[in-house]
Structure 1
Amino acid sequence: MRNRSSVVIIENTHVLLIRREKNGEVYFVFPGGGIELGESPEEAAIREAYEELGVHVKLIGIVSKIQYNGMQYFFKAEILSGKIGTGKAEEFANPDRGSYEPMFVPIEQLDSIPVFPKNVVEKFN
């Protein structure tokens, strides 16, 4: 069990998600990852946005906090600089972990695609 932090980035009625493909399964997650020792949830969200997406973000507020295999924090964020798709997270280099593709998805499509966790998606309805 590890606490995690993620960012929720919305631009023009679209939300930025990571399209994952692993073992033939396709699903979507919010960009984020584990909180490191001595790191706050906010610091982890900012670091993970840079590692996974290649962007520097400013956190605006918390969208959700849920208990699932540890505490998971979801922060609304806006992009300050950088280029989406230039992230260099260590998991990207390991083909056994599947593929990671950041993409903007229309908010109205969130109910029709497998996005995890669903209780964060419900915040958009």
Structure 2
Amino acid sequence: MRNRGSVVIMEDNKLCLIKRSRNNSIYYVFPGGGIEPEETPREAAKREAFEELGVTVQINECLAEIEYEGTQYFFLADIVSGSIGTGQGEEFTERSLDRGTYLPMWVEIDDLSAIDVKPLFVAKK
């Protein structure tokens, strides 16, 4: 079990998500990842936003804490600089890892009910 820090970024009635294709299924997740031993959940969320999305963010309040294979923290965040889709994390550079595909994208909030967002609890908030 590993604790995770994730960001919830909303702009212009859209939510930034990562479209995952893995093991013949497609689903969407919030950008984020594992918290390193020396990091706080906020620091991990900020680092993961840069690695996965290519953006620097300002971390705001914690929207949710969910217990699932460790504690998962979801922070509301605002983009300070950078461009979505320019992330250089290992998800994009280590092709030998069998993790499926990652595609950062904006999703209309009105379209969330038609896609498989994990965790749904956070998307509904």
Q: How many Å apart are 1:91 and its aligned residue?
A: 2.2
Alignment correspondent of 2:5 = 5
Q: How many Å apart are 1:60 and its aligned residue?
A: 1.7
Q: Secondary structure at the match of 1:62?
A: strand
Q: What is the one-letter code of the residue matched to 1:94?
A: R
CA distance in 1, matches of 2:62, 2:115: 23
Q: What is the 5 A alignment of 1:38-77?
A: 38-77=38-77
Alignment correspondent of 1:102 = 104
CA distance in 2, matches of 1:62, 1:104: 21
Where does the alignment leave 5 or more consecutive residues of structure 1 unmatched? none
Query: Runs in 1 of length 4+ with deviation above 6 angstroms?
Result: none
Q: CA RMSD in A?
A: 0.9
Contact kept in structure 1, 2:85 and 2:104, CA below 8 Å: yes
Provide, for residues 13-46 of structure 1, a one-character-per-residue CA deviation record: whole Å limited to 9, x for no partner: 0000000011221100000000000100000000
Q: How many Å apart are 1:121 and its aligned residue?
A: 1.3
Q: What is the one-letter code of the residue matched to 2:21?
A: E
Q: How many Å apart are 1:94 and its aligned residue?
A: 2.6
Considering fraction of residues, name the structure with more helix.
1
Where does the alignment leave 5 or more consecutive residues of structure 2 unmatched? none
Query: Equivalent of 1:121, from 103, 119, 123?
Result: 123
CA distance in 2, matches of 1:20, 1:31: 11
CA distance in 2, matches of 1:122, 1:53: 22
Alignment correspondent of 1:33 = 33
CA distance in 1, matches of 2:39, 2:116: 30
Q: How many Å apart are 1:110 and its aligned residue?
A: 1.0
Deviates more, 1:84-93 or 1:96-105: 84-93
Q: Secondary structure at the match of 1:57?
A: strand
Q: Secondary structure at the match of 1:44?
A: helix
Alignment correspondent of 2:15 = 15
TM-score relative to the length of structure 2: 0.95
TM-score relative to the length of structure 1: 0.95
